[in-house]
Amino acid sequence: MSLESGQLVFVKDEVEGWLPATVGATNGQGEDMSLELVHEDGRTETVSKVSDEWLQRGDPSCLKGVEDMVKMDILTVGSVLHNLRTRYANQDIYTSVGSILAAINPYVLIPSLYDENCMNLYANMATDAGAPPHPYELMELAYRGLITDHRSQSVLISGESGAGKTETTKYLLSYLSHRSSTMEKERREAVPSVEQRRNSIGGRFSVEDSVVMSNPVMEAFANAKTTRNHNSSRFGKYIQVTLHASGVVTGGRVTTYLLEKTRVARQLAGERSYHVFYQLCQGADDDLRARLGLKEAAEFRSLTGGGCVEIDSMDDAEGFSETARCMESIGIGSEAKEGVFRVVAAVLHLLNVEFDMVDIPGQDVGSKVSERGEDSSLSWASKLLGVKPDQLEEALVARFINPGGFGSSDFVVVPSSPLVAASARDAVAKALYSSLFDWLVEKINLTLTAAMNSKTAANTSNRFIGLLDIFGFEAFGTNSLEQLLINYANERLQQQFNAFVFKLEEEEFAKQGLSKVYVEHCRVEFADNDDVLRLLEGKPQGILSLLKEESTLKTGTGLKLGKRYRQAFKGNDRFALPRARGGSRAGTEATFGIVHFAGEVIYDATEFVEKNKDEVPTALHDLVLSSNDREDTSWSS
């Protein structure tokens, strides 16, 4: 590394990552060089044996902050980090990297950053205008690309949990709705209330409203508080917004991925279940509370597992009103809304059912429901599900096994222990909630499709703007199958990012015979994660393929799977074993680590197989399907 007196450098720091310093006097060259460093606080130190591991050259422009880091001459980690830090300190939370927008969550509302005047600024900017980096700028580029190039566009939103992906998705959708509205004369009036923003034809909501307001509904039913984020998306979604050739939004479709069903039944310390459970308990009026048998949230076992019922920054009663209003905006009327809330309440009551042990002479230990009676959890769950209490209890406390195998009509009733009965209870509760969420998403899609009038539909192309909002990378104290799948998805996104930003650019230089120029002047070192993906999705031996195989075995368990992982991937640089303090190996045989692109994560495979099977006992499945409330819960609006 060649350094001169007065040059900006960055010095490795355990707390801040990299800190700026200025080179004072230098002595010698190469490995024998020693130099004096002057730090920001005025300290000076003399160092020898300069190494790239702890000292990097810096770009002076980062000290003031550069809007687009592509314009920086020296793109070292220290320069990039300090540029982001400088801009963040000035409340400039957005920074461009060419066509990429980097965002740092301020966790406070910055005045005027997302108002209508700001939207108009980006809508009216020239193609080469120097407007500050912003999600609106990104959506404007996608919007113009679709109209002028006649090609569909997509915006990929990635980042760690709590980075602000969900909020960014809202801003992007709001801006797209604004741009669409300004294209039609009759939609240019900005009216704030939901009730007044109805389409004048048939009292329906506009397409733009339906697209924007579907988001809060999905948040209520699929977002929750985690230890890192009070409004964490516990699912992934891809939103496709279709547009007319003129730039008017004509419809859309939402595809969801990997709803975290286990959160319905239990949560880690400091976390909550999904927002809608708490909203319903806090916001329902007296009549609805009476019809659903609701109590305070703290009285439902499934809402207290994380030891966190209330959030200081969140008003659950107000959230309930907002959720109900937005459900109306996507075509869910009063009767349908109550049908939805009946299922939510049924899940709460079902998860409050507890079991006592029963000794059965000559048989295995059995169980019975701890509490019965008109106001019991069993009674309310049965009533709301449209089944008889005796039938529900029987399906929970016994298993129906077919010893004759497929095609046989002979069944043997096997008593379930309290632990097995509780597992069956949790399984059906998770399945009910998951089915409800799927129904809501399909209702959103039907509404977005129906919102197109025949004239617009006839002139609609297949072009769309897609928004992918998926979970951020996760590493908690305890990481199970949910975290593995979330991090796998993030590895895939990182691979796409690497291909788009680095590999395609290198290939383009090679096509033009400029490989040497690229290597000498343009190449940026990046962490390739192809080897991590080979570990995860390799066949016949990969993390996921072995999980699938173990799940098909009658005797398959998470512990056995963990042992198989340790044996199969021993020596793989991306596979690690937990370490205790002092460097010795630690953890059970079910624990293992993966060195992801974002860092090492230790997983516990104990429940991998059970969660992957995701089985609902046949008797419970059939009982719910036989509900006398099924016609009522078709929920047509």
**Quick one: average pLDDT of 227-240?**
92
Cα–Cα distance between 303 and 307 in angstroms, integer? 8
Over residues 290-310, the mean pLDDT reads: 96
Among residues 79, 223, 226, 232, the one annotated as catalytic is 232
Query: Is 161 noted as a catalytic residue in this protein?
Result: yes
Of 19-33, 40-54, 67-81, 118-132, give the range with the top mean pLDDT: 67-81
DSSP symbols for 239-250: EEEEEETTS-EE
pLDDT, mean over the chain: 87
- Tell me the β-bridge partners of 467: 155, 239
Q: What is the pLDDT of residues 482-537, one digit of tens each?
A: 999 999 999 998 998 888 777 666 676 677 776 665 555 556 667 789 999 999 99
pLDDT single digits (tens) 168-223: 999 999 999 999 988 765 444 544 445 444 443 334 456 777 888 899 999 999 99
Does the annotation list 159 as a binding residue?
Answer: yes
Question: Are 537 and 492 contacting, i.e. CB atoms less than 8 angstroms apart?
Answer: no
List the one residue out of 42, 73, 50 whose CA is nearest residue 3.
50
Domain coordinates in residue numbering, the chain: 1-90, 91-261+461-469, 481-613
Tokens for 490? 């993030």
Question: Are the beta carbons of 334 and 324 closer than 8 angstroms?
Answer: no
Whole-structure pTM value: 0.85
Angle between helices 165-182 and 116-123 (to 10 degrees): 70
Predicted confidence (pLDDT) per residue in 81-136, tens digit: 999 999 999 999 999 998 899 999 998 989 899 999 999 999 988 765 678 999 99
Least confident among 131-135, 136-140, 403-407, 450-454: 403-407
Known active-site residue 233 = yes
Cα distances from 499 to residues 344, 502, 512, 531, in angstroms, run 43, 6, 18, 15
Q: Which H or E run includes 27?
A: strand 17-27
Structure tokens at 549: 């195989």
CA angle 272, 275, 281 (to 5 degrees): 100
Using DSSP's 3-state secondary structure scheme, residue 451 falls into: coil
Question: 31 pLDDT band (50/70/90 cuts)?
Answer: low
CB count in 10 Å sphere of residue 594: 24
39-65 in b/e burial notation, b at 16+ Cβ within 10 A? Answer: eeeeeeeeeeebeeeebbbbbebbeeb
Q: Which of 58, 78, 162, 283 is an active site residue?
A: 162
Q: How sure is the predictor about 246, in pLDDT bands with cuts at 50, 70 and 90?
A: confident
User: Out of 161, 447, 480, 606, which one is annotated catalytic?
Assistant: 161
Domain covering 91-261+461-469 in this structure, CATH number:
3.40.850.10
C-alpha 152/C-alpha 540 separation (Å) is 36
Q: Is 472 a catalytic residue?
A: yes
Indicate the CATH number of 1-90 among 2.60.120.10, 2.30.30.140, 3.40.50.620, 3.30.420.40.
2.30.30.140
Residues 635, 335: contact at Cβ < 8 Å? yes
Range scoring the smallest mean pLDDT among 202-211, 265-274, 435-444: 202-211
Give the CA-trace dihedral at 46, 50, 54, 57, to 10 degrees: 100
Give the mean pLDDT of 60-68. 95
Q: What is the pLDDT of residue 34?
A: 80
Which residue from 62, 48, 46, 71 is spatially nearest to 10, judged by alpha carbons? 62
Q: Tokens for 444, please give them.
A: 């959103």
Spatial distance between the Cα atoms of 379 and 374, rounded to a whole number of angstroms: 6
Q: Over 50: is that where the pLDDT of 455 sits?
A: no
Average of per-residue pLDDT across 592-617: 93
Q: Could you tell me if 164 and 113 are in contact, meaning their C-beta atoms sit under 8 angstroms apart?
A: no
**Binding residue per annotation — 162?**
yes
Residue 329: the pLDDT is: 87
Which of helix, strand or coil describes residue 87? helix
Q: Is 65 known to sit in a ligand binding site? A: no
Q: Is the pLDDT of residue 571 over 60?
A: yes
**Does residue 161 have a known ligand-binding role?**
yes
As a whole number of Å, the CA-based R_g of the chain is 29
Does residue 160 have a known ligand-binding role?
yes
Percent of the chain at pLDDT exceeding 70: 86
pLDDT at 601 over 50: yes
**Contact yes or no for 355/365 (Cβ under 8 A):** no
Distance of alpha carbon 436 from alpha carbon 440, whole angstroms: 6
Question: How do residues 409-426 score in pLDDT, each as one tens digit?
Answer: 667 888 999 999 999 999
pLDDT of the residue at 632: 44
* Residue 459 neighbours by CB under 8 Å, 6+ apart: 244, 245
pLDDT of residue 201: 33
**CA–CA gap between residue 359 and residue 616 (Å, rounded):** 25
3-class DSSP assignment, residue 383: helix
Instruction: Tell me the C-alpha distance between 628 and 29, whole Å.
Output: 86
pLDDT score of 11: 92
Q: Which of 76, 79, 177, 233 is catalytic?
A: 233
The residue annotated as part of the active site, out of 86, 166, 214, 273, is 166
Is 376 among the residues known to form the active site?
no
Candidate from 364-373, 477-486, 507-516, 561-570 with smallest mean pLDDT: 507-516
User: With pLDDT > 90 as the criterion, what percentage of the chain qualifies?
Assistant: 61
Residue type, 314: M
Q: Which carries the bigger pLDDT value, residue 637 or residue 293?
A: 293
Exposure string over 86-103, b if 16+ CB within 10 A, otherwise e: bbbeeebbbbbeeebbbb
Residue 634's pLDDT is what? 42
- 163 annotated ligand-binding residue: yes
Third-level CATH fold of 481-613: Methane Monooxygenase Hydroxylase; Chain G, domain 1 (1.20.58)
Given a contact cutoff of 8 angstroms between Cβ atoms, the answer to whether 223 and 233 are in contact is yes
* Lowest mean per-residue pLDDT among 227-231, 402-406, 531-535: 402-406
Angle (CA) 489 249 103, round 5°:
40
Residue 406: per-residue pLDDT: 47
Cis-peptide into 540, omega within 30 deg: yes
335 labelled ligand-binding: no
Strands 232-233 and 412-415: unpaired
pLDDT at site 30 = 66
For the stretch 532-554, pLDDT in tens is 999 999 999 999 999 999 999 98
Amino acid (1-letter code) at residue 116: E
The reported pLDDT for the residue numbered 636 is 39
Q: Is 634 a catalytic residue?
A: no
At residue 522, the pLDDT reads: 59
**Residue 307 burial (CB < 10 Å; 0-12/13-18/19+)?**
exposed
370 labeled part of a ligand binding site: no
pLDDT above 80 for 604: yes
pLDDT at position 154: 94
